[in-house]
A and B are shown apart, each in its own frame.
Chain A
Amino acid sequence: MANEIHFRIRRQDGPDARPYWEEFKMPYAPAHNVVSALMYLREHPVNAAGKKVAPVVWDSNCMEEVCGACSMLINGTPRQACATLIDDLDQPIVLEPLTKFPAVRDLLVDRCKMFNALMKVKAWIPLDHTQDVHLHAPLIGPGEQAVRYIFSRCMTCGCCMEVCPQYHQDSEFVGPAPLGQANLHNSHPTGKFFKQDRLHALMGVGGIADCGNAQNCVQVCPKDIPLTDAIAELGRRTTGQWFRDLFAR
């Protein structure tokens, strides 16, 4: 570790440009995370060969592992850069962009596909008014809240999709996170009125049938969301919905 931090970063000047590796070295200081180190590098963008270059481009925002913006591959593992301490990493630290999303520049990728998937499964609760909590607003029991709260912490970071073998740039699979969100919103006392819409969205192309049960998603989720529990429940519910549809005709 000594007195410097050594990075090897996979860069790309634009979506159609060729990727290339660039190395950087910076002075060591304790308590750096990957983003704070990248911030140092953007102020001093001189690569390890001594050449001044354009600063590395990356995405970050909250710096507290709650927004999901700073997902990248760090020494091969997809994780949040802000929450990854330099002191915990083997050097040279290898930074790469997520591979399942179209490259934009350097470590920045286009994750619109994730948000489109959330729209496809209607991962929200349409409200036609607000209600004082004391005036018979819908209630959720504490046991249910404990389970659902974990799912509500999903920050659409894309790590689960990065490791899912069924998810790739040419597939229409919505991926693990939207499945979790569909199930969450189906469990909500008001959200459940739109249960059928969400289940139908998952019974078509790119839906639940695409899940191969690899279990990679639960291993990598930074919020420890039990995604495969939701996927299993959705498996039962979509089957039930299929029967209902059969007899509804």
Chain B
Amino acid sequence: MILATGGLGLIYGQSTMSTNSTGAAAARVYQQGAKFANGEFVQFHPTAMKGHDKNRLMSEACRGEGGRIWVPSEKGDTREPREIPQEERFYFLEDWYPTYGNTVPRDVASRAIVRVTRHMGLGLNGQDVVYLDLSHHPREFLEQRLGGILEMYTTFSGEDPYTGPMKIFPATHYSMGGVLVDYAKDEQTGGMQKVHPRNHVTTIPGLYACGECDSGYHGANRLGANSLLSATFSGQIAGAAAAAYLKSLKKSAADLDEKYFESERTRQEVINQELLSPNGTENPFALHRELGEAMREHVFVERSNAGLDKALVTIKELKERSRNIHLDDQGTWNNQSLSWARQVQDMIVLAEVIAKGARLRDECRGSHYKAEFELKVPEGKFEGDPEYEEYRAEWKANNKEWMKLTVATHTEDGPRIDYKPFDASILAPEKPRDYR
């Protein structure tokens, strides 16, 4: 079987993902023995629209084509954006990162925006909103380059992004982590053997995973546009691998005793029957909303051990409550409440994997950030300066301890977290990321 079931954004309640991106399929195979890697590395895209139902993505292309992120310099400024002169605007990415400006990577931009709204209190109306401004570009240019996205902004907000700035905030966007997959190394090149049954196999023989639901390619921080690349590539590789695996088999599923299928079918029916029982009290849609709120509060762009402890307590409570669900729809025909409730139970399982991995990883790496463990680059110091070199030495020492994969194994009491060494033999990191 090849799993290509995409992301898990719905665990955060709101995300840029489609409503079927719950991660439930990955959660189900995880509960049956497929280890899950790097759950804590969730990408938060800096520029997404707010909404009741989802955060619609304002593509990175906006910033690529010269979009500028800003807030009014003065706290509580209620003027219309067009009335605020340039010198009274805080273009914070341009200020803090002179070299890269608005095109800093997603994790850097997301952290900067959260710092501006939550630590400096400079969000619009004191809220978690900042401006993404393209209105300084001619209309024709924008229509040609970004017409599709800007149309979406107009459709869903009722506002015109051609004549005024858009309102955005970071949102859950992608899961770098996923089902742990292996590969067959080519000893000559150090890369992957093109066709081998071990490529993209999970820890369950015969089960493969590819695309966003795998964990193989993006480490702690995915580069823009590379999701499509890894999905295409991993799909090709996993397909060939599964075919090679099948060729090696002496038996097929059809040769197996009926009893294996019967017992699994019964297991599934029991889950459904428990959920359809009239005795429960918990509303699955409310449980999902509360799960999302806890994840967006404590397992978001900025994390802290105190916050993650709270998240883990909440998740454990939700897990308990999800065993006592009452469905307002008691029917058996197209019962969307039932299928949703099942996915909520699975989302809670993966939420615990994500939060636990984050709790135990005491460092900052890519999209995973804990202020209490930040190694701050010395201000105004660069390569060659003794202060910078001391910082670089600390950074290397931290990599020695933490540059490894988080591996979660399912147990009834929650995920058991182990670590797997990371092979940096082809390209060992020498320089910390610096966008100043």
> Chain A interface (Cβ within 8 Å of chain B)?
13-14, 29, 31-33, 35-36, 39-40, 42-43, 45, 52-55, 57, 60-65, 67, 82-83, 85, 87-88, 104-105, 108
Q: Are A43 and B334 in contact (CB under 8 A)?
A: no
Q: Which residue of A lies closest to B57 (CB)?
A: A64
The answer, yes or no, to whether B281 is at the interface (CB within 8 Å) is: no
Contact pattern, B 323-334, Cβ under 8 Å of A = 1, otherwise 0: 000001111011
Q: Are A36 and B285 in contact (CB under 8 A)?
A: no
Q: Are B328 and A13 in contact (CB under 8 A)?
A: no
Please name all residues of chain A whose beta carbon is closer than 8 Å to the beta carbon of B289 when the two chains form the complex: 43
For the complex, what is the distance from the CA of A86 to the CA of B81, rounded to whole Å?
A: 26
The answer, yes or no, to whether B18 is at the interface (CB within 8 Å) is: yes
Q: Which residue of A lies closest to B285 (CB)?
A: A43
Please name all residues of chain B whose beta carbon is closer than 8 Å to the beta carbon of A108 when the two chains form the complex: 334
The answer, yes or no, to whether B426 is at the interface (CB within 8 Å) is: no
Q: Are A85 and B156 also in contact (CB < 8 A) when A43-B289, A54-B331, A55-B336 are?
A: yes
Q: Are A43 and B286 also in contact (CB < 8 A) when A33-B53, A35-B53, A57-B336 are?
A: yes
Can you pick out 8 interface pairs between chain A and chain B where the beta carbons lie within 8 Å of each other?
A42-B285, A54-B328, A54-B331, A54-B337, A63-B53, A64-B152, A87-B158, A88-B158
Partner of B52, one of A13, A39, A55, A61: A39
For the complex, what is the distance from the CA of A85 to the CA of B56, rounded to whole Å?
A: 14
For the complex, what is the distance from the CA of A31 to the CA of B20, rounded to whole Å?
A: 22
For the complex, what is the distance from the CA of A81 to the CA of B329, rounded to whole Å?
A: 22
Q: Are A105 and B333 in contact (CB under 8 A)?
A: yes
For the complex, what is the distance from the CA of A134 to the CA of B158, rounded to whole Å?
A: 42
Please name all residues of chain B whose beta carbon is closer than 8 Å to the beta carbon of A88 when the two chains form the complex: 158
- A/B pair count, beta carbons within 8 Å: 74
Partner of B333, one of A14, A40, A63: A14
Please name all residues of chain A whose beta carbon is closer than 8 Å to the beta carbon of B53 when the two chains form the complex: 33, 35-36, 39, 63, 82
The answer, yes or no, to whether B106 is at the interface (CB within 8 Å) is: no
> Chain B interface (Cβ within 8 Å of chain A)?
18-20, 50-54, 56, 152, 155-158, 283, 285-286, 289, 328-331, 333-334, 336-337
Please name all residues of chain B whose beta carbon is closer than 8 Å to the beta carbon of A62 when the two chains form the complex: 18-19
Partner of B56, one of A42, A55, A63: A63
Q: Are B328 and A36 in contact (CB under 8 A)?
A: no
Q: Are A31 and B51 in contact (CB under 8 A)?
A: yes
- Chain B's nearest CB lies how many Å from the CB of A242? 39
Q: Are B334 and A105 in contact (CB under 8 A)?
A: yes
Q: Are A83 and B156 in contact (CB under 8 A)?
A: yes
Q: Are A57 and B334 also in contact (CB < 8 A) when A62-B18, A83-B155 are?
A: yes
- Chain B's nearest CB lies how many Å from the CB of A194? 24
Interface SS of chain B: loop
Sample of 11 further A-B pairs with CB below 8 A, known A29-B52, A42-B285, A85-B158:
A13-B331, A31-B157, A36-B52, A54-B331, A61-B20, A63-B18, A63-B19, A63-B54, A65-B152, A88-B158, A108-B334
- Chain A's nearest CB lies how many Å from the CB of B429? 30
For the complex, what is the distance from the CA of A60 to the CA of B328, rounded to whole Å?
A: 20
For the complex, what is the distance from the CA of A52 to the CA of B286, rounded to whole Å?
A: 16
For the complex, what is the distance from the CA of A39 to the CA of B51, rounded to whole Å?
A: 12
Q: Are B52 and A31 in contact (CB under 8 A)?
A: yes
Please name all residues of chain A whose beta carbon is closer than 8 Å to the beta carbon of B54 when the two chains form the complex: 63-64
- Chain B's nearest CB lies how many Å from the CB of A11? 12
For the complex, what is the distance from the CA of A32 to the CA of B52, rounded to whole Å?
A: 7
Q: Which residue of A lies closest to B336 (CB)?
A: A57
- Chain B's nearest CB lies how many Å from the CB of A30? 9
- Chain A's nearest CB lies how many Å from the CB of B58? 11
Please name all residues of chain B whose beta carbon is closer than 8 Å to the beta carbon of A13 when the two chains form the complex: 331, 333
- Chain B's nearest CB lies how many Å from the CB of A64? 6
Please name all residues of chain B whose beta carbon is closer than 8 Å to the beta carbon of A55 when the two chains form the complex: 285, 328-329, 336-337
For the complex, what is the distance from the CA of A86 to the CA of B50, rounded to whole Å?
A: 16
Q: Are A43 and B283 in contact (CB under 8 A)?
A: yes
Please name all residues of chain A whose beta carbon is closer than 8 Å to the beta carbon of B328 when the two chains form the complex: 45, 52-55
- Chain B's nearest CB lies how many Å from the CB of A5? 12
Please name all residues of chain A whose beta carbon is closer than 8 Å to the beta carbon of B52 when the two chains form the complex: 29, 31-33, 36, 39-40
For the complex, what is the distance from the CA of A85 to the CA of B51, rounded to whole Å?
A: 12
- Chain A's nearest CB lies how many Å from the CB of B27? 19
Please name all residues of chain A whose beta carbon is closer than 8 Å to the beta carbon of B158 when the two chains form the complex: 31, 85, 87-88
For the complex, what is the distance from the CA of A45 to the CA of B157, rounded to whole Å?
A: 27
Please name all residues of chain A whose beta carbon is closer than 8 Å to the beta carbon of B51 when the two chains form the complex: 31, 36
By CB atoms of chain B within 10 A, which of A36, A42, A52 has the most? A42
- Chain B's nearest CB lies how many Å from the CB of A204? 34
Q: Which residue of B lies closest to A62 (CB)?
A: B18
- Chain A's nearest CB lies how many Å from the CB of B387? 46
Partner of A104, one of B18, B56, B334, B337: B334
Q: Are A54 and B19 in contact (CB under 8 A)?
A: no
Please name all residues of chain A whose beta carbon is closer than 8 Å to the beta carbon of B330 when the two chains form the complex: 54
Please name all residues of chain B whose beta carbon is closer than 8 Å to the beta carbon of A65 when the two chains form the complex: 152, 155
Q: Are A61 and B334 in contact (CB under 8 A)?
A: no
Q: Which residue of A lies closest to B56 (CB)?
A: A64
Q: Which residue of B lies closest to A82 (CB)?
A: B53
Q: Which residue of B lies closest to A15 (CB)?
A: B333
